[in-house]
Amino acid sequence: MSFLSASLARVKPSATIAVTAKARQLKAAGRNVIGLGAGEPDFDTPANIKLAAIHAIEAGKTKYTDVDGAPELKQAIIGKFQRENGLTYTPKQITVGTGGKQVLYNALVATMNPGDEVIIPAPYWVSYPDMVALAGGESVPVVCTAEFGFKLQPDALERRRPSGSFSTRRRTRPARPIRAPS
């Protein structure tokens, strides 16, 4: 019996880690490389953020937060969306995580059943199909073209409609109309 879960057999080696390691190797060899793998900035953490972290530690804010994010942070996010985007949210509509992939994976695991098909608009981040596979699902890539600003179009969605219970026209219609940029 293997120590590792059988579900790991569905996951391929990380392309993100491979390309990041290669960029690091080339940099170490003196090559001028711009790494686009791990999504990390090429600059140091800004001083105001470092100071805020230090002040939080000094204030004893070193304990676990609520699973979906500290209430103060959620309020700050709500304020940002209202101020900069004119969008109104409540704390129950905001979830904070360590990164987008973690939040998406949590959502997949919480909502998928084995064999469910998941539409992935392409181009997509290389991890998405493996996240779906690890959660027990099947990826259904749908190509999104430059012609439409890489936005998912209803006709492309209709052509790649999953085969399961979510395949009725009513269930696959976008929540809001998708239009080509004018």
DSSP one-letter code for 87: -
34 has pLDDT over 50? yes
Q: What pLDDT is recorded for position 122?
A: 93
d(CA 64, CA 53): 15
pLDDT, one tens digit per residue, over 62-106 is 999 898 899 999 999 999 999 999 999 999 999 898 888 888 999
Question: How many Cβ atoms from other residues are within 10 Å of residue 157's Cβ?
Answer: 19
pTM for the structure as a whole: 0.66
- 107-116, 151-160, 168-177, range with greatest mean pLDDT: 107-116
The two structure tokens encoding residue 95 = 């979830």
**DSSP states of 89-111:** --GGG----S-HHHHHHHHHHHH
3-state secondary structure of 43: coil
pLDDT, one tens digit per residue, over 40-52 is 777 899 999 999 9
Cα separation of the two ends of the chain: 58
Q: What pLDDT is recorded for position 172?
A: 42
Task: Enumerate the H helices of the chain as residue ranges.
Answer: 15-28, 47-58, 71-85, 100-111, 128-134, 154-159, 169-172
Cis ω for the linkage preceding 123 (within 30 of 0): yes
Question: How many Cβ atoms from other residues are within 10 Å of residue 153's Cβ?
Answer: 19
Q: What pLDDT is recorded for position 15?
A: 82
Q: What pLDDT is recorded for position 5?
A: 80
Ordered by where they begin, the domains of the chain are 66-96 (no CATH), 97-182 (3.40.640.10)
